[in-house]
Structure 1
């Protein structure tokens, strides 16, 4: 058989699909829409890696290169201060800039440095500042907006960022920057997180592939009856198969065109996608190799699926032999796929994070075989159960008889939802099981302080922490602001082998870090039970002269001597609001000479008044006005890995798209089946069958395979989830509430599709549907 014959017959089938009247192009359009939706989702998926890579490149481009220790400022350097903040649950990237000369490095996205009192903002931040919701933020970022940061300086379109000019960084303290851009190696992802990413892609794409395979078979019964006419004019069986494949090929090619259009539309709305943050439309750029693979694989799959489906159909010149009782489906070979999948996954059980990386190809193949095994098992299950169903109301009998005559079509209708729910259940079990690996107790006590503001060595705020605390404490919404300053003590000016911390503050502030026997201004305490009791015991001896030193300070400042009072009391260390247990010496403000040390750092703990609306935002504004270089931290009892949360967010977005895709495909498939049965429905109505009976029969006809599909997908999903948890070396637990929720979502999608198909059903149930030409 030559390629010319294949090309001739495929082309003839394509002409039938496009030029075969309303019925032909309607079927082609339905197939094209179904395939197009799947292609669009595949293209979006293939574009995600390039979008994440583009974000990483822009993130590296705005990272700073700092001057080495002792390097002096010059014309080619920039003084920069961190001024990050948070508003409405969103982080805002902020930097204060003070160029040291005409050749100072310019941050990406800026055309020139903002002058003091001016700032350049991202488009998203500019929009937020101008909105009614940004009233409190305008009080905090009160510099004049004179420029918009370009895309090359932003992570994404929703990135909140600003650069503000300042002439006070020498007093506030800032780092000396010599350039922008970083070529640092990316952080290696641990094996379990890498496994999760592979699973998310496989679990989301497998239902799409199943759906595309089902979409190319829309209108199969009418097509087969039409092909019988070709046998009357001399076509043989293989020629009709090739013509049918040509019709499917035309639908698949139309789907590729529509899919490209759907992808282009989705790409324009990429700003709304939150995956490791927002992405620019230009970031969603599919790899040419992957896009070519999709373009080749979809038409090839359409031809292969059509030829495979027609093996069980005998097309004769006088009709289609489809009504004869088919041979019963055998189960043994259908178990080969899931058993083979388990066999591939079994060698990786117990690997976890400690025994190297998982084989991505082996994991992907094993999971795909398990999920695709559902499509092999479901027709057998539907046929077996349907053959045992018996009498009941008329609507039930109509539904059962239809299932017994075409159990394969009923199973094909819900294959996609079954595969999607099985994958979702397995992923839900996996995420729940490994969540503890990527969540930790921070030790923070939000009941004692909601926000912590800290200053580092060399920051001006470290030397005036108490004044800043008083300023913040007078803000509406702040119940209390407590300041602690810190420096280091050594036994001699040159011997720094033993160092003890010195923490200074008021009695109330010191009680945040120690259990004090009693306290009045002028008292000192030696801490016991802290993290470094050995150094404390060696340095902090009452009556000894110690020296306040700044570790890492090469500026030439001489250590300051101080004699630890002989009356120093013993106190027991207590975790501060951030969970840190301190060691060393505590001293009230009057106990130390003014200016002791230059200050290695300071912490301000801010407790909020819950009765004041937006108290946290008011507190952040007060901190910003007091000193914009203070680093803020929201205190929370638990913390989750950003990467873990991003993967979970990606799963949610992908699962939503897949469920929408499957819902649309179910609706299209349901409408196509109803259209093929128009004459039958009209005949039943003409003979006196009530419309409510027919509507209930359609609902029952859908409910039975859906119930079986959900039962099978739940069993396969739990089995797959169990194996994956064992691979991650995590204790296997099944939370049945999410499992039931996933099954409920699947059932809800099918119920919604069935309800949406009722109006077209009622229109089809008219006697004039018997009219023919």
Structure 2
């Protein structure tokens, strides 16, 4: 008995599958449209399944090329060269807001370690570069960068030495680095790669919440689109099932046949999706989104996740089809749905968003201090709230269009069509409404917690844009003068710092010393009058000892020595009688400056060996690429000058990474939204091709039909976006309160996201106009 039931199920499912591929041209078109829509969603799901592989590959290559903090050699400036030692200098730079990783290398022995991805060391004056950097240097946009990297390219860095296909990296040959070895900028190493496992950092629960919500919000529209795609051609399918009832099949058999059609379409969609994914995998190397690039070999979906996608998509297709048929009575003489449908009920549709709120409610006010969030409750709550849109929107569309009255002919055609098939119209905009609601909620969540992960740097970018740190053997006077004459420079402030002690041996009290010309010192303190040779003291309220140590006539010592060390030549210096007090500026270029301020003429001749020198540059906004012009000038002076761009605020790296991942994922989902909406629009037009042709044959103007199609799109999308706005604001407010942050709505961002959703629909509608014109020809009345 059981085998007979299984056999009957198999035969019915197989019959449905045959209908998918043997229904003539109409059947194939319907199958291809369904497979295309499902395939787009499957491709994005496979991309998501490949994320663990992408992240692990990037992290492994980043760790393999590490040359900082990997052993004792680089930490000892007095280390000796060996057959396995390599001198390496950090020359990272930035070009038009793109980070470039640079290293100068000088092997000291035959067995010096090669950097990952490099076949042989470049000679002095030569360099090996990443493919992306080679492309940039060869383009017109790379003119300024070519001036900064005056090396001859002799090779390419392989994939093992790059974190992504768009990575900008170079290794240049150098000589004489041993004389500048400091264990910081210039290091001596004997291998590449992390030497020890880094301790796992504890992740802030709010960051985990952000990551979880990002994944849920980005993947939920994908699931909605797949569910919509498997229902393409639903009206024709129901009429075909009615014909089967006429020849003797019962209602259960027809549902199994419909399930077989959905199963076959979803399997075909899996094949399409795999093809889309493999195609996208091959072109991934040439694509960079928000500074993130990957290698095709990294895009390997996790086998378990790929299997889950392969099983979940067909199962969901069958489930959606069976649920959709529950509201349709298929009889031998037709489909009851062609009559006026029963009004949709509201009560059960409200259970989804209310259930979502109920799951999220226990975590309100939890924040970072009260433990981690329950990932299952978060996922379930967000999914229920977003899926509540798909349940509420059909009811809202039906209730709204039922009350619409008379108007222009195009309006009447659109309204009547919506009154007869409001469910199809709602399904078309379900995905975009879910995506917009999720985007609004995420924007509110990011805005609400941004202050937690953003801190002020205390730097005034109107005072300086670049900070150039000189090597210890650099001449601050010469460098400052050359930079002052560089293109794009409006003003410079060259400052050096060191310390003096109260005693020559084993000192216990210290005093900070800042050296610069009068103009540079005025960037730190309020000095009434100044000339070369003057000395000033800025008291430190938090350290009363400063006043007693910085007294005119007091002897202090530069470069004191300690017991057990080799003897040093301490430099004694007596503070001149003309030492004057100065007041630190509230907007000092270096906040917290105190101690002695010396003009260069007052600095003892033998005390300059231990100075740390920095040049602050204020750029000219009228000069294009002023920042890069200054960087070029600095490299021309000394390649080891480190350049830092000032920012008024800085964000936690993990928070920035999550936001970047959101932007990349949102871009992929937006492409899916547009493509899926276009397929859905074309499918609906194809379903109404004969009707459109008949209306044209009876004299209806094409302009009227075109406007009716626009109204049929505009009304549901307006209702969908209004619902998305309400659900998005509600979900966003709940998520923000879960982090114990204050709820605030940035209406400009919220409305811009809503506008982006509407813009996608407008673009899709515009792209569907040419097919609409072709479908309105009288030839559309032909049939087989």
> Which TM class, normalised by the smaller chain length?
over 0.9
In 1, Cα distance between equivalents of 2:411 and 2:257: 38
The aligned runs of 1:640-659 (5 Å cut-off) are: 640-659=651-670
Cα-to-partner distance string for 1:295-317 (whole Å, 9 max, x where unaligned)? 11101111111111111222222
In 2, Cα distance between equivalents of 1:23 and 1:147: 56
**Structure 1: stretches of 5+ with no match in the other structure:** none
In 1, Cα distance between equivalents of 2:291 and 2:143: 28
In 1, Cα distance between equivalents of 2:329 and 2:561: 88
Inter-CA distance 83–752: structure 2 relative to 1 (3 Å threshold):
closer
In 2, Cα distance between equivalents of 1:555 and 1:604: 33
Aligned to 1:309: 324
The aligned runs of 1:550-569 (5 Å cut-off) are: 557-569=568-580
Aligned to 1:417: 432
- Larger mean Cα displacement after TM superposition, 119-128 or 751-760: 751-760
3-state SS in 2 of match to 1:22 = helix
Aligned length: 768
Inter-CA distance 720–166: structure 2 relative to 1 (3 Å threshold):
same
1:202 aligns with 2:216: yes
In 2, Cα distance between equivalents of 1:248 and 1:551: 84
Indicate which of 140, 143, 150 corresponds to 1:142: 150
Aligned to 2:356: 341
| 2:242 and 2:333 in contact (8 A); partners too | yes
- Larger mean Cα displacement after TM superposition, 612-621 or 343-352: 612-621
Aligned to 1:122: 130
| 1:529 and 1:572 in contact (8 A); partners too | no
Cα-to-partner distance string for 1:479-538 (whole Å, 9 max, x where unaligned)? 4433222211111133333221112222222222222232222221211247x6345235
In 2, Cα distance between equivalents of 1:203 and 1:303: 24
1:677 aligns with 2:698: no
- Larger mean Cα displacement after TM superposition, 60-69 or 416-425: 60-69
3-state SS in 2 of match to 1:58 = helix
Inter-CA distance 49–509: structure 2 relative to 1 (3 Å threshold):
same
Report deviation, 1:597.
5.3
Indicate which of 397, 411, 428 corresponds to 1:382: 397
Report deviation, 1:420.
1.0
1:93 aligns with 2:101: yes
- Larger mean Cα displacement after TM superposition, 112-121 or 570-579: 570-579
Report deviation, 1:611.
4.0
In 2, Cα distance between equivalents of 1:91 and 1:4: 63
CA RMSD of superposed structures (Å): 2.3
Report deviation, 1:87.
1.5
Aligned to 1:625: 636
Aligned to 1:40: 43
3-state SS in 2 of match to 1:475 = coil
3-state SS in 2 of match to 1:180 = coil
Inter-CA distance 74–303: structure 2 relative to 1 (3 Å threshold):
same
Inter-CA distance 691–123: structure 2 relative to 1 (3 Å threshold):
closer
- Larger mean Cα displacement after TM superposition, 9-18 or 428-437: 428-437
In 2, Cα distance between equivalents of 1:699 and 1:108: 57
The aligned runs of 1:575-724 (5 Å cut-off) are: 578-596=589-607, 598-724=609-735
In 1, Cα distance between equivalents of 2:654 and 2:664: 15
| 2:290 and 2:663 in contact (8 A); partners too | no
Report deviation, 1:575.
6.2
Aligned to 2:17: 14
Aligned to 2:192: 180
1:471 aligns with 2:486: no
Inter-CA distance 148–575: structure 2 relative to 1 (3 Å threshold):
farther
Indicate which of 411, 436, 442 corresponds to 1:427: 442
Indicate which of 34, 44, 65 corresponds to 1:62: 65
- Larger mean Cα displacement after TM superposition, 333-342 or 613-622: 613-622
Report deviation, 1:96.
1.8
In 1, Cα distance between equivalents of 2:560 and 2:50: 51
Cα-to-partner distance string for 1:448-486 (whole Å, 9 max, x where unaligned)? 322111136xx312xx21122123223333344332222
Aligned to 2:92: 84
What is the TM-score normalised by the length of structure 2? Answer: 0.93
Inter-CA distance 556–205: structure 2 relative to 1 (3 Å threshold):
farther
Inter-CA distance 133–411: structure 2 relative to 1 (3 Å threshold):
closer
| 2:469 and 2:615 in contact (8 A); partners too | yes
In 2, Cα distance between equivalents of 1:550 and 1:443: 32
Cα-to-partner distance string for 1:529-550 (whole Å, 9 max, x where unaligned)? 47x6345235323222222237
- Larger mean Cα displacement after TM superposition, 339-348 or 164-173: 164-173
In 1, Cα distance between equivalents of 2:88 and 2:409: 79
Inter-CA distance 177–580: structure 2 relative to 1 (3 Å threshold):
farther
Report deviation, 1:195.
1.9
Report deviation, 1:128.
2.0
1:154 aligns with 2:162: yes
- Larger mean Cα displacement after TM superposition, 431-440 or 50-59: 431-440
- Larger mean Cα displacement after TM superposition, 288-297 or 513-522: 513-522
Inter-CA distance 535–601: structure 2 relative to 1 (3 Å threshold):
farther
What is the TM-score normalised by the length of structure 1? Answer: 0.94
In 1, Cα distance between equivalents of 2:513 and 2:424: 78
Cα-to-partner distance string for 1:189-214 (whole Å, 9 max, x where unaligned)? 42223222222211111011011001
3-state SS in 2 of match to 1:223 = helix
1:52 aligns with 2:55: yes
**Structure 2: stretches of 5+ with no match in the other structure:** none
In 1, Cα distance between equivalents of 2:150 and 2:200: 36
In 2, Cα distance between equivalents of 1:197 and 1:714: 22
In 2, Cα distance between equivalents of 1:496 and 1:55: 48
Indicate which of 441, 453, 473 corresponds to 1:460: 473
